[in-house]
C-alpha cells in the first residue's frame, strides 16, 4: 500500500496524519477515525510513562495473545491513577466521548516491544462499546484500517508520541485495525521507525454492561 498515488486528508496546515484509498473513505471516516497530534505535552507524556513504568517492568513480554491478535507485548488494566494522570484522562474523556457515554473503569495499557505488532482484527462488541481512544507514548507507529468486506478501502493513521487517536462507529465495526510491524512501518513513502510503544486506551461501555463488570478482554490497539 505504500505508493505515491495515495490520497491524504490533512488535519493541520502542511501536515498530514490520516491517509486513505480515496475521497469516499476519507469522507466516510472523517469523524470516525481521528488523530489529534500533540494532545499531550512532553511533561504529560513523561508523567504517564513514569507512573506506568514500575508496573510494566514487573511483567514479561508475551508472544501469544488470547485471540492471537498481538505479538511482543505486555499489558495491564489500571484503575488507580495519580491526580496528574487522572487530569489527563479526563481530558481524553472530554475530547473523545459523548456526554451520554459511560467509560469502562479500568484503562487498558498496552506495551509493545520494538519488534512487537498488532495483527488486523475487529474488536468484539461484547467487550468494548462504540468508541475507543488511545494515547501514544514513546514511539511513532502506523495504524492501518481496512474495510472487512471491501479490502480496497483503507485508511492509515500516523500516531506520533503524545498524540490521541479516536475510533468510533463504522471505523470500529466495519474496518479491521492493526499496528504495523517495524519492517512494514511506512506512512506513504515516509519510513516510520518503530521503537517501544505504550498506548493508554480508554473504552466506552458496551450496551447493557456495568462499568465495573470484571473479566472483559481489552481492545488491542
HSE-CB for 59 with a 13 A CA cutoff: 19
pTM of the model: 0.86
Residue 13 confidence (pLDDT): 35
Question: What is the reported pLDDT for 63?
Answer: 85
The rounded radius of gyration (Å) of the Cα atoms in the chain is: 16
Chosen CATH of 2-203 out of 1.20.1260.10, 2.60.120.590, 3.40.50.300, 1.10.3720.10: 2.60.120.590
Indicate the SS3 state at residue 70: strand
pLDDT in tens, the chain (221 residues): 543 333 444 333 334 899 999 999 999 999 999 999 999 999 999 999 999 999 999 999 888 765 568 889 999 999 999 999 999 999 999 999 988 888 988 999 999 999 999 999 887 777 778 899 999 999 999 999 999 999 999 999 999 999 999 999 999 899 999 999 999 999 999 999 999 999 999 999 886 555 555 444 555 56
What SS3 class is residue 15? Answer: strand
pLDDT, residue 213, reads 54
Q: Please report, for the chain, how many H helices and E strands are present, in that order.
A: 4, 13
Domain residue spans of the chain: 2-203
Amino acid at each position: 500500500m505504500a505508493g505515491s498515488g495515495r490520497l491524504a486528508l490533512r488535519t493541520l496546515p502542511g501536515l498530514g496524519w490520516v491517509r486513505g484509498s480515496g475521497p469516499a473513505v476519507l469522507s466516510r471516516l472523517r469523524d470516525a477515525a481521528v488523530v489529534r497530534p500533540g494532545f499531550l505535552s512532553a511533561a504529560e507524556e513523561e508523567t504517564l510513562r513514569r507512573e506506568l513504568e514500575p508496573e510494566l517492568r514487573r511483567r514479561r513480554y508475551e508472544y501469544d495473545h488470547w485471540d492471537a491478535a498481538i505479538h511482543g507485548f505486555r499489558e495491564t488494566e489500571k484503575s488507580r491513577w495519580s491526580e496528574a494522570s487522572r487530569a489527563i484522562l479526563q481530558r481524553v474523556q472530554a475530547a473523545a466521548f459523548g456526554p451520554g457515554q459511560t467509560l469502562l473503569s479500568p484503562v487498558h495499557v498496552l506495551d509493545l516491544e520494538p519488534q512487537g505488532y498488532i495483527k488486523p482484527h475487529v474488536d468484539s462488541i461484547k467487550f468494548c462499546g462504540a468508541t475507543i481512544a488511545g494515547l501514544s507514548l514513546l514511539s511513532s507507529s502506523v495504524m492501518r484500517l481496512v474495510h472487512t468486506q471491501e479490502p480496497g478501502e483503507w485508511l492509515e493513521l500516523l500516531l506520533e508520541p503524545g498524540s490521541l487517536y479516536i475510533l468510533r462507529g463504522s471505523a470500529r465495526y466495519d474496518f479491521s485495525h492493526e499496528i504495523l510491524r517495524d519492517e512494514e512501518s511506512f506512512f506513504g513513502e515516509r519510513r516510520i521507525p518503530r521503537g517501544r510503544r505504550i498506548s493508554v486506551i480508554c473504552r466506552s461501555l458496551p450496551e447493557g454492561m456495568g462499568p465495573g463488570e470484571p473479566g472483559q478482554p481489552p481492545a488491542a490497539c
